[in-house]
Amino acid sequence: MINFGAIIEARFGSTRLPGKVMLKVNNQPLIFQLIKRLKFVKNLDQIIVATTLNKKDDVICDFLKKNKINFFRGSEDNVVERVLKAAKKFKIKNIVQITGDCPLIDPYIVSQVIETFKANNFDFVSNANIRTYPDGMDVSIFSTKNLNKLSKLTKNKFDLEHVTLYFRRKKNIFSHCNIMAPLNLHYPKLGLTLDEKNDYHLIKVIFKKFRKFRKPFTCLQIIEFLKKNPHFLLINKKVKRNPLPLALK
C-alpha cells in the first residue's frame, strides 16, 4: 500500500486551450515539467497521471510510456471515477490531487499540505477551498476510502467532473482543513494556472527565468520576480477564471 500518491488529472481535449499539457517550455512538455517538480515533494511515494480513454490522449500516454511515468486511463467526464480507479490500481491510501493546469505548483507547498494531513485527522485538507494562494498552487488531499464514499453519495455531473467539489460542499459529511497562505504568498488574484494561451505565454516567461535553477523555484520566487517585472502580469491579465459553483441543486 502506497501512503501518499499524487494523481495528476490531465487530458488533451481542453475547450479553452486544446493540448495544453503537452505544450512545451524549455523543450519539454508542461506535464513533464509538473512531474519533475513533484519529485521534490517530501513524503510523496508515487506520481500517476490520470488521463482519459479518448484517442486524443494517446499522445499523452505515448509520452508517459516513453519516459516510464505511471498513468491510468479512464472516464473523460466522470473524473471522480477516473481518479478513484487510478488510486485503486496503484494501491494508494491517500490521494494528493493535482491538476495538469498547475505546472508551476510549488513542491514545498505540496509538502506542507501533506504534513498537515499527516498530523491531523481531517477528511479533506486543501489550500484552495478558500483562495489565498495564487491560482495554480492548488493541492488537496483525501483518502481513497473517502473518495470511494463520495462516489456513492452523488450522481451530480458537476460533482463527478470536479473531484474536490463534493468534499468542499459537504462539510457536514467530510471534515475540513483549509491552509491559508502566509502574507508573503497571499496573492489570490494572481493567475499562475494554465487556462488559456496567454497563461502559457506567462508560464513560458517564468520557466525561462528560472531555467538554470537546479532545485525547483518556489512560489515566493515567482511572486518576487513578477513584483520586480510587473509588465509580465499584463500578459494574462484579461484571462477570466471559472470558479466552481458550491451551491448545486
In this structure, is residue 244 part of a structural domain?
A: no
Give the pLDDT confidence score for residue 249 in this predicted structure: 38
Decide if 31 contacts 100 (C-beta within 8 A): yes
Nearest to 192 by CA among 245, 244, 110, 133: 133
Predicted pLDDT of residue 16 = 86
- Position 15 scores a pLDDT of 80
pLDDT at 10 over 60: yes
pLDDT tens string 19-34 = 999 999 999 999 999 9
pLDDT in tens, 219-240: 999 999 999 999 999 999 999 8
Range of the domain at 140: 2-234
Does some domain include residue 240?
no
The pLDDT of residue 248 is 42
Q: Per residue in 138-196, pLDDT tens?
A: 999 999 999 999 999 999 999 999 999 999 999 999 999 999 999 999 999 999 999 99
Could you give the C-alpha distances from 66 to 27, 69, 70, 102, in angstroms and in order? 16, 8, 11, 22
The pLDDT tens digits for 98-110 are 999 999 999 999 9
pLDDT at 243: 66
Q: Is residue 46 part of a domain?
A: yes
pLDDT at 247: 45
Residue 248 lies in a domain: no
For residue 14, tell me if it sits in a domain.
Answer: yes
Number of domains in the chain: 1
DSSP string, the chain: -EEEEEEEE--S--SSSTTGGG-EETTEEHHHHHHHHHTT-TT--EEEEEEESSGGGHHHHHHHHHTT--EEEE-SS-HHHHHHHHHHHTTEEEEEEEETT-TT--HHHHHHHHHHHHHS--SEEESTTTT-SPBT---EEEEHHHHHHHHHH---HHHHHSTTHHHHH-TTTS-EEEPPPPGGG--TT-B-S-SSHHHHHHHHHHHHHTTT-SSPPPHHHHHHHHHH-GGGGGTTTTPPP-PPPS---
User: What's the confidence (pLDDT) of residue 13?
Assistant: 81
Residue 206 located in a structural domain: yes
pLDDT of residue 136: 96
User: What's 22's domain CATH number?
Assistant: 3.90.550.10
Task: Write out pLDDT tens, residues 22-74.
Answer: 999 999 999 999 999 999 999 999 999 999 999 999 999 999 999 999 999 99
pLDDT tens for each residue of 105-139: 999 999 999 999 999 999 999 999 899 999 999 99
Let me know if residue 166 belongs to a domain: yes
245: confidence class by pLDDT, cuts 50, 70, 90: low
Evaluate whether residue 241 is within a structural domain: no
Q: Which residue has the cell 500518491?
A: 5
